[in-house]
Structure 1
C-alpha cells in the first residue's frame, strides 16, 4: 500500500464524474480514446473504528495495447444537476486520511482485469458518521510509434461512501414541481434528507396523465446527501412496458410508495402540472 493519499499536492478543482479528454487539434496524428473500463462505479462501505476494510476495483483494458494509469484520491461535492466536482484540496471532515491505495501508477494489460486494492481504516475514536471520497483513475499520454496514434489522458472517478456505526438516511418529500430536463417536461419530487447517511429512492409509482393513459414512474437514483434537499425526476413509461418511455401530458397524478435505505419508505400522492 502507498502512503496516505492526503499527502498529494493540491491543484485546481476538477469537474464531472468522467472527464473528457482534450481534442489535440494542433497535432496531426490520429487520437486514441481513453480505453479503460472500471467496475464497480461506486462502493458503499460499512466500517468499524480501528478495523481495516478492503475493497477491489477491477480495471479492464479494452484497447489491444496495455494502458498506463495514475491512481489517487479526491474529495467531491454533488451539484444540483447530479454532476460531480472533484477537488484535490482536503475537505473539512474528509476521510481520505483513512484510505490507503495499492500503488500510485498501474499498467493494465488487455485480456484480463487488473484487481486494484484499496483499504479503509477509520480511527478508533471515529463517532458514528458517513464520509465520502473518490478514487480517481487517470490515463497518461502515450507516445506515438510508427502507425500508432497518440493515447489521450482521461479520468474516471469511483465514488466511495464510508458509513461508520449506525447511520441511516431519513428522507421526506417537501415539495413537487414540473421541470424542463433535457428538453422534456418531467415531474420532479423535492426530497430532503434529515438523516446521517446518503439515501436513494427506489420503487415504482402508478399514475394517469391528462389523456387518461395509465403510466408507471421510476425515481432518478441520484444520491441525496445528509442535510440537503435534492430534485428527483420521475421518468414515465407505459404501464406494463418498462421499455416504452413516454412524454407525459400534464396534468398527471402519481401515487404509490418509494423505498430508501434498509427499511425506510414514503407514500407518494402528488398532482403535477396545471
Structure 2
C-alpha cells in the first residue's frame, strides 16, 4: 500500500485496543487525531455454502470533528509475537473474493455511530473449511484549509473468521519451555492444532513455585491456526487476585484442565524450569 503523507501503518496486535489514537512523527503538515472506536474488534462467523452471512461493524468517532476513513479487505498472517501482518495482495486460497463490503469510503460523525455492513457468501460447492480475512479501516487525508493538509494517521484491522460447514480445532500440547516474555521468565506451552479451524485455550490452572507459594495460571488467548504450532504463555497470579501478577520462582509445577473449541479439553500436568 502507499502510505499517507507523514503517517505510518500500525502492526495491530491480536489484543488490539478498540480506541486507536495514533499520531505521526513531526512533519510539515498538521496531523489530526485518529480517534475511532470499533466494535467488535473480531468476528467469528458460521456460514453455509451458497448462503450469505452478514455482520455489522459499529464505528464511533471519538472526536469533536467528523472523521473520513477508507475501508478495504486484506489477508493477514499472525506472527510469533502475536502481531498481525496485513497483505493487500490475495494470498493463495484467499476467500476475500467471497466478501462484499458496504462502501470503500465513509465519514463518521461524532455522536452518531455508523453501522458498517459486511457480507460473506461462500460458493455452493465450498467444502468444510475456515476462511479468514481482515477489514482494514484507515484514516483519510483531509484538508484543514487552503494549502494546509491534515492527515489522519493510523489503521485498525477487524479480524474475521468464517467457519464454513462443520469445522473444529484439535489442539494438543506437544512441549513446554521457559522463555523471556516482557523481560520475565514465563512458562510456555507449545500447542499444535491438527484441526481445520482456529482454537484458543481457556481456563485456570493450579500451580506451586519453588518457594511453595500457591499460584493460579491462565493461558494467553492467542489463536492457534490450523496446521500451526504456537507458543502460549501462562500468566501467574495469586489465587483470588487475578489482577496482581507475580514473579515466579522456578521450578514450578502446573496442573489442571484447559478448554478449547466447543467441547475440547486438555489435561495439563507440567513442570517448568530446572
Which blocks of at least 5 consecutive residues in structure 2 are unaligned?
Answer: 4-8, 14-19
Match status 1:23 vs 2:18: no
Q: Quote the offset at 1:154 in angstroms.
A: 1.1
Structure 1 runs (4+) greater than 4 angstroms displaced: 18-22
In structure 2, the partner of 1:100 is 100
The separation in 2 between residues aligned to 1:167 and 1:84, in whole angstroms, is 23
The 1-side partners of 2:92 and 2:207 are apart by: 43
The superposition leaves residues 58-97 of structure 1 with CA deviations (integer Å, 9 ceiling, x where unpaired) of 0010010000000000001111111111001101111100
Asked if the contact 2:102–2:116 (Cα under 8 Å) also holds between the matched residues in 1, the reply is yes
Change (3 A) 1:47 1:243: same
Aligned to 1:242: 242
Computed over aligned residues only, the root mean square deviation of the Cα atoms, in angstroms, reads: 2.1
User: When the two structures are superposed, what TM-score results if normalisation uses the length of structure 2?
Assistant: 0.91
Asked whether the 8 Å contact 1:15–1:85 carries over to 2, the reply is: no
Deviations 1:44-66 (A, max 9, x none): 11000010011000001001000
Kept in 2: contact 1:191–1:231 (CA 8 A): yes
Aligned residues: 262
1:273 aligned onto 2:268 = no
Matched ranges for 1:135-214 at <5 A: 135-145=135-145, 150-214=150-214
Provide the rounded CA distance (Å) in 2 between the counterparts of 1:76 and 1:20: 22
Q: Secondary structure at the match of 2:34?
A: coil
Corresponding residue number in structure 1 for 2:6: none
Whole-Å separation in 1 of the counterparts to 2:234 and 2:116: 36
Quick one: distance in 1 between partners of 2:25 and 2:150? 10
1:120-139 matches, cutoff 5 A: 120-139=120-139
- Residue 97 of structure 1 aligns to a residue in which SS? helix
